[in-house]
Amino acid sequence: MNSIAGVLARVPLFKLYRRFDWPEMLPLNLTLSPSPKCNSRCLTCNIWMKREDELTISEWEKVLASLGRTPYWFTISGGEPLMYPHVVELAQLVYQYCRPGVINIPTNGILPNIPDRVERIARSCPESQLIINLSLDGIGQKHDYIRGTPGNFKKFEARLEQLLALRHKLPNLTVGIHSVISTFSVRHLDDLIAYADKSGADQFITEIAEPRVELDTIGLPITPSPEEYEEAIDSLIVWPCCVRADNLGNLRDHDYDFKQIWFGEKIKEVRRSIAAKECHCPLANASYTNMLHDLPTLARVSAKLLRPGFLGRGPMSGKDINSGAAELESPHRA
């Protein structure tokens, strides 16, 4: 299994690759988006409207086989990832070929078979920490309104209770709550924090709603003003990161070999642009890899690693393609 100690040991190599394009390094973190299909109708996301020429599970296997055991953190996203019919098999293939330290899956908590799928993934990937983050954007009817799904909050609470019960018998399961701070929720963030504190969940993370190509939200008035956002997150730590929608290539055109894209020509311009600070955005699942490139932060992480009893399974995620992370999703239909 990948370890944080192993990740830290590779940081100098990533810095060399970042500056000199040598030695070639595969990403520490990948987000797989096998399908955009979703059973929510959120005010902050239109991904459910998309249709893609989705990779088959056998095609995903070829991609994962090309990666080896370099990635430390995988996120299986969507759409609603636990709605994807092969999500268990996909997670098992991730484990079979890559043995990551972390497999992270967000979910809206609607489907009744979520606990069963989570248990199957956790049991078949025993050396990876499985993180399930349940989405919560309001309390009670506020959540149902923002998510566009009547009864969603009751289902959220039922799934939370079920997953917390599972956690007692699955030592590699972590249960979290994830909130999107939007124009619809920015004024009741205190309620969300108070709920999360009493929920029994292992973690509470937030990200800001933003216009994104991936979510088909360009032009929608969903992002709070800087003043509203600053006031809302006064009691939280929020890290910046980079989210790009650059088309780097179709895996089908590269014999499903991720390395051909990661070390190809198109990505060089993206790296130059990111290094020139031509983009920015705050995302909850896009900071840990970037933090490794900040020496004071790296020193604190290393010091924590050396503490007695530290298990070496802290989160380290990111989507900054310049720092060792990437997203993979099925190619869009023409």
CA torsion through residues 267, 131, 314, 7, sign = negative
Closest CA to 329 of 90, 13, 18: 90
> What does the pLDDT read at residue 71?
92
Does the residue 334 lie in any domain?
A: no
Domain presence at residue 109: yes
DSSP string spanning 65-112?
HTTTT---EEEE-SSSGGGSTTHHHHHHHHHHHH--SEEEEEE-S--T
Residue 186 per-residue DSSP state: G
Distance CA 139, CA 187 (A): 12
204 occurs within a structural domain: yes
pTM of the model: 0.78
pLDDT value, residue 305: 66
Q: Is residue 292 a part of any domain in this protein?
A: yes
CA distance 127 to 184: 39
DSSP 120-185: HHHHH-TTSEEEEEEE-SSSTHHHHHHHT-TTHHHHHHHHHHHHHHHHTT-TTEEEEEEEEE-TTT
Structural domain contains residue 191: yes
Q: Could you count the other beta carbons within 10 Å of the beta carbon of residue 88?
A: 18
Q: What is the pLDDT of residue 224?
A: 85
In this structure, are residues 139 and 156 in contact, taking their beta carbons and an 8 Å threshold?
A: no
pLDDT, position 248 = 82
Is residue 41 within 8 A of residue 216, CB to CB? The reply is no
Domain total of the chain: 1
What pLDDT is recorded for position 79? 93
Query: Which residue segment(s) compose the domain that 251 sits in?
Result: 4-329
Amino acid code (one letter) for 5? A
CA–CA dist 265, 262 (Å, integer): 9
Would 108 be classed as within a structural domain? yes
| Segment (H or E) for 210 | none
- Beta strands 325-329 and 29-33 are parallel
Classify residue 126: in a domain, yes or no. yes
The pLDDT score that the predictor gives to residue 311 is 45
| Residue from 110, 187, 101 nearest 149 by CA | 110
Q: Mind listing the pLDDT tens digit of every residue in the chain (334 residues)?
A: 578 788 888 889 988 988 898 999 998 889 999 999 999 999 999 989 998 899 999 999 999 999 999 899 999 998 999 999 999 999 999 999 999 999 999 999 999 999 999 999 999 999 999 999 999 999 999 999 999 999 999 999 999 999 999 999 999 999 999 999 899 999 898 999 999 999 999 999 888 887 777 776 788 878 888 888 777 766 554 632 335 567 788 888 889 998 998 899 888 888 888 888 887 655 655 666 777 777 787 787 777 766 765 544 443 333 344 446 666 555 443 3
CATH value at residue 174: 3.20.20
In a domain, residue 268? The reply is: yes
Structure confidence at residue 229 (pLDDT)? 75
Residues 6 or more apart from 51 whose CB is under 8 A from it?
A: 36, 333
| Structure confidence at residue 276 (pLDDT) | 85
